[in-house]
Amino acid sequence: MEKKLFEKKISSKKIFTGKIIELYLDEVELPNDKVVTREKVKHPGAVGIVPLNREGKIILVKQFRYPTNSALLEIPAGKLGKNENAADCARRELKEEIGAVGGKIIHLTTFYTSPGFCDEILYLYLAIGFERKENNPDEDEFLDIVELKMKDSLAYINSGKIKDAKTIIGILLSRDYLNLI
Amino acid sequence: MEKKLFEKKISSKKIFTGKIIELYLDEVELPNDKVVTREKVKHPGAVGIVPLNREGKIILVKQFRYPTNSALLEIPAGKLGKNENAADCARRELKEEIGAVGGKIIHLTTFYTSPGFCDEILYLYLAIGFERKENNPDEDEFLDIVELKMKDSLAYINSGKIKDAKTIIGILLSRDYLNLI
């Protein structure tokens, strides 16, 4: 990598270890040789899945998101378990959150949610052809299931009713797959 | 809000105050009356702007993102200053990062980058009709400017060459505005 676009780690200090994240305060050397501190949140990574059913509806979950102090409409999603494969995690979350089993999952894209301070990477999938069973969320997970037509979900993005990054990307990228269902 | 989708704050403890983020460890009461801890990263919020020039090219910046240990292709973006209006911040970042002045900015959408642990909200704009001058990044900001046709930027999303959430959302939502330039 060219020196102009690289920051060299000088030291690293762990500030916090939580259930979800770790926080580090590192010293780095900039391309101009100046040393500055960087705040880095370490995250295990996550998956999000757009479940598109046979009627062309997207199945979303509404759940309270404490940091935002509000309930958000989102695609099913979850953190990667230790050593868990992203596609396996997608299958697990689909079953737990909306009771979707079987069918196909298709990788849409993979992205960083907020690379300025955090290493969280999100693996995004589309699920089609699944069957619906009873869902079984975690004991401490509370959610409502909301089914939305693709057209309405696009309107929800434009009106701000959907305001979660992975959900917006998932819906926008899934439009190209409507012919598969 | 219905009780089923609400978590009540019981206590809050500040763990860390940085230049960008603050970290809190809060106790909350779940809908089942159980008390659990929540890790919450407080972020000042940010803007991202898709600069679409008169030739239909998107102007991106490539910069090293320390948490990802890599240089990423992104739309111009930056954190909100204290009491700074999002549209003013968009104008400021456009000028600093790519030297774009004048023209119109159009609000595309506003979203949370990772609402499971962080309150960061991102205001997303499209910029059209601007003039290009010399850019003037911050003293400690190093970036390359990359111009990309809309078609190529969509291919970059699909191939994983663009892997930043706000950049993906911005490009996908800007497709509908190509007729404006």
> If you measure CA to CA, which chain B residue comes closest to A33?
B140
Tell me which residue of A126, A107, A110 sits closest to B70, measured CA to CA: A110
User: Going by C-beta distance under 8 Å and a sequence separation of 6 or more, which residues neighbour residue B136?
Assistant: B95, B96, B99
- The answer to whether A40 contacts B163, with C-beta atoms less than 8 Å apart, is no
Q: Which residues of chain B have pLDDT under 70?
A: 1-3
Q: Does the pLDDT of residue A131 top 60, yes or no?
A: yes
d(CA A117, CA A96): 30
pLDDT of residue B179: 85
- The answer to whether A113 contacts B114, with C-beta atoms less than 8 Å apart, is yes
Region for residue B56 given its phi and psi (left: phi exceeds 0; alpha: psi -120 to 50; beta: otherwise): left
Which residues from B are below 8 Å from A97, CB to CB? none
Of A30, A67, A163, the CB nearest to B111: A163
Domain residue spans of chain A: 3-42, 46-180
Mean pLDDT calculated for residue range A16-45: 97
The CA distance from A63 to the nearest CA of chain B, in Å, is 6
Which residues from A are below 8 Å from B27, CB to CB? none
- The answer to whether A43 contacts B165, with C-beta atoms less than 8 Å apart, is no
d(CA B47, CA B45): 7
> If you measure CA to CA, which chain B residue comes closest to A68?
B119
Query: What pLDDT digit, counting tens, does each position of A66-105 carry?
Result: 999 999 999 999 999 999 999 999 999 999 999 999 999 9
> If you measure CA to CA, which chain A residue comes closest to B145?
A5
pLDDT of residue A167: 98
Tell me which residue of A53, A54, A55 sits closest to A76, measured CA to CA: A53
Secondary structure class of B108 (helix, strand, coil): strand
Q: Which CATH architecture has domain B46-180?
A: Alpha-Beta Complex (3.90)
d(CA B29, CA B115): 18
Reported as type and span, the H/E element at residue A158 is: helix A150-159
d(CA B77, CA B44): 13
Which residues from A are below 8 Å from B160, CB to CB? 109-110
- The answer to whether A109 contacts B169, with C-beta atoms less than 8 Å apart, is no
Which residues from A are below 8 Å from B114, CB to CB? 43, 113-114, 118, 120, 165
Whether the predicted model's global pTM rises above the 0.95 cut: yes
Residue A24 φ/ψ, nearest 5 degrees: -125, 145
Tell me which residue of B134, B97, B66, B106 sits closest to A118, measured CA to CA: B66
- The answer to whether A116 contacts B21, with C-beta atoms less than 8 Å apart, is no
Catalytic residue set of A: 139
- The answer to whether A160 contacts B110, with C-beta atoms less than 8 Å apart, is yes
d(CA A16, CA B53): 44
pLDDT band for position A178 (50/70/90)? Answer: confident
Query: What pLDDT digit, counting tens, does each position of B137-151 carry?
Result: 988 889 999 999 999
Secondary structure class of A154 (helix, strand, coil): helix
Q: Quick count: other Cβ atoms within 10 Å of Cβ A111?
A: 26
Of A4, A19, A39, the CB nearest to B20: A39
Question: ipTM, 2 decimals?
Answer: 0.97
Query: What pLDDT digit, counting tens, does each position of A132-159 carry?
Result: 999 999 888 899 999 999 999 999 999 9
The CA distance from B10 to the nearest CA of chain A, in Å, is 12
Tokens of A94: 């689909």
Reported as type and span, the H/E element at residue B13 is: strand B8-17
Q: Does the pLDDT of residue A46 top 90, yes or no?
A: yes
pLDDT of residue A3: 67
pLDDT band for position A181 (50/70/90)? Answer: confident
Of A114, A140, A168, the CB nearest to B36: A140
Tell me which residue of A25, A78, A69, A13 sits closest to A49, measured CA to CA: A78
